[in-house]
Amino acid sequence: MTGFVRLEILDAVGIIRLDRPPVNAINSAMHGELSAAVRAAAQNPEVRAVVVYGGERAFAAGADIKEMASKSAAEMSLYGGDLTGAVDALARLAKPVIAAVTGYALGGGCEIALAADFRVVAQDSVLGLPEITLGVIPGAGGTQRLPRIVGVTKAKEMIFGGRPVTGVEAVAIGLASRAVPADQVYSEALSWAQQLARGATAAIAAAKLAIDSGLDGDIATGLRIEAAVFAGLFATEDQKTGMRSFIESGPGKATFSGR
């Protein structure tokens, strides 16, 4: 392990830290380390929400082009598959995930951010999928997740032209939830994650499953998934706690365990 990606735990929040100076260019070592960090966050019951953060200078300025440039199509199938698997694992993490973006989130870095449930960005950050300018396309989920987040037309505009957007514009088009001054990005994301971690995280995980799985199919399938996970929550401690608290003390006063 090179230590380019690590999981840190603060209270009930897992911070997946991208740390490959100077700008967190994503190389093959980071693929496996990202997968390992996501797996560790998934398996640790103390982690109830996750923040992905690249530091003050950059979230991740894209893939390591020097490492990729001479690879064959067959080699890239394996190389790209590892990154796609890591990003997909992050997207499917059964806990709320917030990407805290400062500086650049380009190419593979943007695709990691897209895998989060929410993005808190610096007002002057730069997000985009510039792969077309290299003669290729996004290969770790960008062509699939970006249209689902911002709509097909805006996604094609960004991908076909390779044009990035600022943090302020990212909020305007629905790519990000909040844009704040750069020195407030991490604290804003962490505060939001801590708020989510105090909530009914079993129900949040169920809602995430229902939403994301429903988007993968037709509405009838989505409704069946929703009904199943809704009923399943009546086997959780949080459901008992939440409804008992409502009856006894009114809404919004329950303290949840996440079980």
Beta-carbon contacts of 123 under 8 Å, excluding residues fewer than 6 positions away, are 166, 167, 168, 179, 180, 181, 182
Q: Which is catalytic among the residues 12, 49, 58, 63?
A: 63
179 is catalytic: no
Q: What is the 3-state secondary structure (H, E, C) of 156-194?
A: HHHHHHCCCEEHHHHHHCCCCCEEECHHHHHHHHHHHHH
248 is catalytic: no
Establish whether the linkage from the previous residue to 22 is cis, with ω within 30° of 0.
yes
Q: Which is catalytic among the residues 80, 108, 109, 139?
A: 108
Q: Which is catalytic among the residues 58, 86, 103, 131?
A: 131
Helix or strand (DSSP H, E) at 105: strand 104-106
Q: Which residue type, as a one-letter code, is found at position 9?
A: I
Are 184 and 167 in contact, with CB atoms under 8 Å apart? no
169 is catalytic: no
State the catalytic residues: 63, 108, 111, 131
